[in-house]
Amino acid sequence: MAEKLTIVKVGGKIVEAPDTLARLLDDFAAIPGKKLLVHGGGRSATQLASRLGVETVMVDGRRVTDDAMLEVVTMVYGGLVNKRIVAGLQAAGVNAVGLTGADMDVIRSVKRPVKEVDYGWVGDVSRVDGDALARLIDNNIVPVIAPLTHDGHGNILNTNADTMAGATACALARHYDVTLVFCFEKEGVLLDENDSSTVVDRLDRARYASLKSKGIIVGGMIPKLDNAFTTIDAGVAEVVITKASNLCDLSRGTHII
Amino acid sequence: MAEKLTIVKVGGKIVEAPDTLARLLDDFAAIPGKKLLVHGGGRSATQLASRLGVETVMVDGRRVTDDAMLEVVTMVYGGLVNKRIVAGLQAAGVNAVGLTGADMDVIRSVKRPVKEVDYGWVGDVSRVDGDALARLIDNNIVPVIAPLTHDGHGNILNTNADTMAGATACALARHYDVTLVFCFEKEGVLLDENDSSTVVDRLDRARYASLKSKGIIVGGMIPKLDNAFTTIDAGVAEVVITKASNLCDLSRGTHII
């Protein structure tokens, strides 16, 4: 039977504030066995952009990335946020290595074609080198992946961290028994968004369709869950949607099956 | 006999301008066999600091690194400059991985003690994990090292790139027949600094002492050459000081023996 691998995706909000970052690093360090972290960093990028007089333009929740914004996200995601996490994990005894998709060519993407919107230097993941990542992981190294990829022609591309986590989980499902954890601001998928005791413990496609049709699952949760079901179809053993502060107990949250 | 490894250290000036960077990437990609790159990025750090209203303070050519400046160098060295080089090398067919000292704990340092000057978050290299770097290199991965290290307690430290290149060369001399190349603005050590035809082809300790006593070798060249002789004593086969644009022909420049 394949060895267990836990892939955690955590958003910018958690990794950008010193107190929530410290808690996350402790909880992530405590996860037993092989693991990998994918992080965001959007809030810091917006802050730095603002300080530099670079305007932040979002379309459907995605950042339009012109030359100036590409510099900002390369600095913030690949430098500031990624290296702080790596240094913090090293201090917690986790042998982390910070990677973008360009590093060791682990995640390649294609610049998003211009349709109604020109997103600029934004990439859609085309290939994850699971073998290269598995070689690191088998050497007890923990990859910490920033939401940047490359096109193989020298261009860095701003890339959605949820999608990267999903694609990475799929590529590593050939090597490991993968649990993919999306850290979320709430306890999981809630039947009543104002009541954290209404977490949906287990969610299969039938129940997902039913909750969508009733308008209980809406908005930004839908692409997240679609992404989760896609990874399950691709061989990922389990997807968990949970609160970052519950990372120490993965029996909580919503389990996609 | 040990396999050959070429370690190239290149300063900020070369890697920050698009045209000189493109030339460097081509020349570096053309170096046969195993290799490793260490880069600077000071000019970009100063520029970004200025745009952010962070004052740059240099003492004896070294950057004083307070909290705000540490953020700047982490973004510029670890993010912007490092990832541009990595993406560029990938496009040139070189399987590069960008690293700071924190990544895989490859280079650890100690925060510089406060004496006459408090340099802030500046580190002096204490240990290079040559085994970890050799494992990458033996897998045909090319480390691209940014001038940042960590103290093992979660702190990133701004670190001199020349020193990092020297310490890395020493640590890897146990694994490979190492040539360490310092790219420089001039053709090498010059007898007449205004005449590039006066390159000192070979420099041993006796001639170095003589040229220093005559005032021909002065200023910033002295710590660079001291560093070079230290690495030779530690088992590095050869140190070359040359112009970045001569990287394609390492028979040129000054050879420290």
Local confidence pLDDT in tens for the 257 residues of chain A: 789 999 999 987 888 888 899 999 999 999 999 999 999 999 999 999 999 999 999 998 889 999 999 999 999 999 999 999 999 999 999 999 999 999 999 999 999 999 999 999 999 999 999 999 999 999 999 999 999 999 999 999 999 999 999 999 999 999 999 999 999 888 999 998 889 899 999 999 999 999 999 999 988 889 889 999 999 999 999 999 999 999 999 999 999 98
Question: Quick check: B121 contacting A, CB < 8 Å?
Answer: no
Chain A CB contacts of B99 below 8 Å: 97
Q: Does B84 touch chain A (CB under 8 A)?
A: yes
Query: For residue A13, what pLDDT is reported?
Result: 83
How high is the pLDDT of residue A17? 85
Are the beta carbons of B80 and A103 separated by less than 8 Å? no
Cβ of A79 and B77 within 8 Å? Answer: yes
- Among the partner-chain residues A91, A96, A100, the one whose CB lies closest to the CB of B152 is A91
**How many domains in chain A?**
1
| pLDDT band at residue B85 using 50, 70 and 90 as cut-offs | very high
What CATH code is carried by the domain that includes residue B126?
3.40.1160.10
Which chain A residue shows the shortest CA-CA distance from B155?
A87
Whether the pLDDT of residue B18 is over 90: the answer is: no
To 5 degrees, how large is the angle CA A173–CA A179–CA A181? 125
Q: Is the pTM of this model over 0.90?
A: yes
Q: What is the full DSSP assignment across A103-153?
A: GGG-EEEEEPPPSSS--BSBEEEEEE-HHHHHHHHHTT-EEEE-SEEE-SS
Residues B148 and B78: beta-carbon distance below 8 Å: yes
Question: Could you tell me if B94 lies within 8 Å of chain A, comparing CB atoms?
Answer: no
Between A146-155, B41-50, B84-93, B215-224, the lowest mean confidence (pLDDT) is in B215-224
Tell me the nearest-neighbour CA distance from B201 into chain A, angstroms. 36
Q: Is the pLDDT of residue B165 over 90?
A: yes
Q: Looking at CA atoms only, how far is residue A152 from chain B in angstroms? A: 5
A77 touches chain B (CB under 8 A): yes
Residue A226: other Cβ atoms inside 10 A: 11
How do residues B187-241 score in pLDDT, each as one tens digit? 999 998 889 899 999 999 999 999 999 999 988 889 889 999 999 999 999 999 9
pLDDT above 90 for B251: yes
- Give B 136-165 residues with CB within 8 A of chain A: 139, 141, 148, 150, 152-156
> For position B96, what pLDDT does the model report?
98
Q: How crowded is residue A22: how many other Cβ atoms within 10 Å of its Cβ? A: 13
What span, in angstroms and rounded, lies between the C-alpha atoms of B136 and B130? 10
Q: Which residues of B touch A52 (CB under 8 A)?
A: 51-52
pLDDT reported for residue A185 = 84
Predicted pLDDT of residue A60: 83
Interface of A with B in 19-48 (CB under 8 A): 48
Q: What's the DSSP call for residue A87? A: H
pLDDT at B223: 87
Instruction: Give the end-to-end CA distance of chain A in Å, rounded to a whole number.
Output: 19
Checking if the pLDDT of B151 tops 90, the result is yes
Between A55-59, B49-53, B122-126, B220-224, the lowest mean confidence (pLDDT) is in B220-224
**Average model confidence (pLDDT) for chain B?**
95
B-chain residues within 8 Å CB-CB of A104? 95-97, 141
Q: Would the pLDDT of B16 be above 90?
A: no
Chain-chain contact of B152 with A103 (C-beta, under 8 angstroms) = no
Domain that holds residue A68: 4-256
From the list B71, B86, B91, the residue facing A103 with the nearest CB is: B86
Say what the pLDDT of residue B127 is. 98
* Host H or E run for residue A184: strand A177-184
Helix A82-91 vs helix A18-30: angle between axes, to the nearest 10 degrees?
50
Residues of chain B with C-beta less than 8 angstroms from the C-beta of A138? none
CB contact, 8 Å: B91 with chain A? yes
ipTM score? 0.96
For residue B152, the chain A residues in CB contact (below 8 A) are 90-91
